[in-house]
Amino acid sequence: MTVSVAYFILYFLLFLVLLALLLFNRKRYPIRPTDTPHVSILIAARNEEHNILNCLHAIEGLNYPKDKLEVLIGDDGSTDNTRALVEEFIKDKPGYTCITIKGTVGRAKGKANVLAQLAHRATTDLFLYTDADIQVPSGWVQAMLAGLSGKVGVVTGLTTVAGESLFFRLQSMDWLYSLGLMQTVSDIGLPVTTMGNNMLLTREAYQAVGGYENIKFSITEDVAIFNQVLRRGFDYRNIYDRSVLALSAPAATFWQLLEQRKRWMRGATHLPAYMFAILVMHSAYYPVLLPYFWQASVGIASAIFLAKLLLQSTYLHICLRRLGLRIPWWQYVVFELFMVVISIIFIIYFFTPTKVKWKGRRY
C-alpha cells in the first residue's frame, strides 16, 4: 500500500508539471509562404488497396507547386490491387512514380527496405514521409518546412485517427493525448522521437547516418533513424499544430489495436529514459493502483479515479483546443474508462511471447 501511495503522489506531481509546461511553454514555427523548394514525398505501400487512393488524393490536393513535388510510391510485394490502383491514379501525373521493390539493401528489412530504395531514387534534398493509410492536410509541405532552421535534420508532424465511431474517436484521443505528452517534453528542449507517417528528413541528415540500410533493423524504423540522426549532431523539431495534422486509418478491431500498440511499445523501449518513464508511469497507473483500490474505501478509490480523470481530461482538452477540436464532456469520461481497460490488457499482451504481426509479416 505504501508503494501505491508513493506512486500516486509521484504521478500527480509529474503530470502537474507537464500540465504547467503545456500551458506556458508552447513553441510555434511560423510558415514561410514564399519558400518552396523541391521536395520528395516517399510512401511505402503493402496491401493498401482500401487506403492508398485516399492517401494519393490528399497528396494531389496539396497546396504546393506541382512542379516542386516528386512523389515516389514503393510497392512492397502487394498481393491485392494496390499496384493497379496506384498505376491508374498516376498515369497522367508526371511527378509520380511507382516503384516495385525487389530484394533488400544493406541491413534494411520490411518498410525500412522500401524507404531505403525510395531514397536512392529521390532527386531532391528534402524527404517527406507519410504512409499509404494516411491523409495529409493541404498545407502539410509548407508547415513541415517551417520547422527547418539551422542544424535541424528531422521535423515531425502530428497524426491522429479518422472515423466517427466511438471506438475510432477513442483511438484519436489516445493519439493526441500521447503526442501531447511528447510535445511538452520536446518543447523544453529534450528530444523524444519522430513518426514515420508524418516526418521530414533532410538529405544531409539521412546520408550522414548512411540511410536505412546502414541502421540496425528495428520494427519501428522511424525511432531508429531519429536516434541516429541526433547522434550525428543534428537538431529536431516537433510541431503540434493543425497545419500538420494528418489522418490515419484506424485500427478496425480491438485485436488490430493490440497488434499496433505492441509494435509501438517495442519502439518505446528505444525512447530516451525520461520519455519512456513518463509513458510507463502513465500506462501503469491502474495496474499499479488496482491492488490499492481493493483495500481502500469506496470514497478514497473514487477520489483517486476522479483526480486522474480531471488531470487527464484537462490535459487532453488543451491539446484538442490547440487543434481547433472539441468533444462532448462525456467522451472524456469514456476515454478514462477506455484507458482503464487497455492499459491493463496492453501490458499483459506486450509480455506475451509472440511476434509482432505487421502488414502480413511477423517480426
Question: Cα(196)–Cα(221) distance, rounded to whole angstroms?
Answer: 8
Alpha helices in 44-165 (DSSP H): 52-60, 82-90, 110-121, 140-145
pLDDT at 339 over 90: no
Confidence of residue 33 (pLDDT cuts 50, 70, 90): low
Residue 350 CB contacts under 8 Å (≥ 6 apart), including other chains: 261, 262, 265
Percentage, residues of the chain above pLDDT 90: 63
pLDDT at 195 over 60: yes
Please give the domain boundaries of the chain with CATH numbers for all domains. Answer: 2-25+269-353 (no CATH), 39-157+195-250 (3.90.550.10)
| Strand residues in the chain grouped as ranges (E) | 39-45, 69-75, 96-100, 126-131, 134-135, 152-156, 158-161, 198-202, 235-238, 245-248, 357-358, 361-362
**CA angle 99-260-174, nearest 5°?**
120
Per DSSP, the three-state class of 351 is: coil
CA-nearest of 159, 153, 201 to 180 is 159
> With contact defined as beta carbons under 8 Å apart, do 236 and 230 qualify?
yes
Q: What is the pTM of this model?
A: 0.91
Based on the number of CB atoms within 10 Å of its own CB, is 165 exposed (0-12), middle (13-18) or buried (19 or more)? exposed
Percentage, residues of the chain above pLDDT 70: 96
For the stretch 104-136, pLDDT in tens is 998 888 899 999 999 999 999 999 999 999 999
For the chain, the average pLDDT equals 89
